[in-house]
Amino acid sequence: QKEVEQDPGPLSVPEGAIVSLNCTYSNSAFQYFMWYRQYSRKGPELLMYTYSSGNKEDGRFTAQVDKSSKYISLFIRDSQPSDSATYLCAMSPNYGQNFVFGPGTRLSVLP
């Protein structure tokens, strides 16, 4: 079992749809959870950063962490074609180090 797993996609949705992206993990020591967006031929950029369990909202994006189930989610409301990218979850047990990334989910939002 890989340490961090994601639905591989690709995922195609119509513009305006609500998108749910998910990751599961096996290491119960993970405490810091991140979501990155990576456009083709670009480096990842941080979207959301959460600590421990709970929800965090930023504009159209909501991140949820359920440590008891070892499950994290990213929701995108009112999805736009510009949201088309690969979404990577990442997590770490320690502040600022030992980051582990998931393999990514490719999302296409169709106009």
Partner 1 sequence: EAGVAQSPRYKIIEKRQSVAFWCNPISGHATLYWYQQILGQGPKLLIQFQNNGVVDDSQLPKDRFSAERLKGVDSTLKIQPAKLEDSAVYLCASSLVGPQETQYFGPGTRLLVL
Burial class (CB in 10 A: 0-12, 13-18, 19+), 102: buried
Q: What is the C-alpha to C-alpha distance for residues 51 and 13, in angstroms, rounded to an integer?
A: 29
Residues 53-92 contacting partner 1, CB under 8 A:
88, 90
In angstroms, give the least distance from the CB of 16 to partner 1.
Answer: 28
In angstroms, give the least distance from the CB of 9 to partner 1.
Answer: 11
Under 8 Å between Cβ of 31 and 39: no
Residue closer to partner 1 (CB basis): 37 or 79: 37
- Exactly one of 43, 59, 68, 82 binds partner 1 (CB under 8 A); which one? 43
- Exactly one of 19, 25, 44, 76 binds partner 1 (CB under 8 A); which one? 44
List CB contacts of 43: < 8 A, sequence separation 6 or more. Answer: none
In angstroms, give the least distance from the CB of 1 to partner 1.
Answer: 16
Report the interface residues with partner 1, using CB under 8 A: 4, 32, 41-46, 49, 88, 90, 95-104
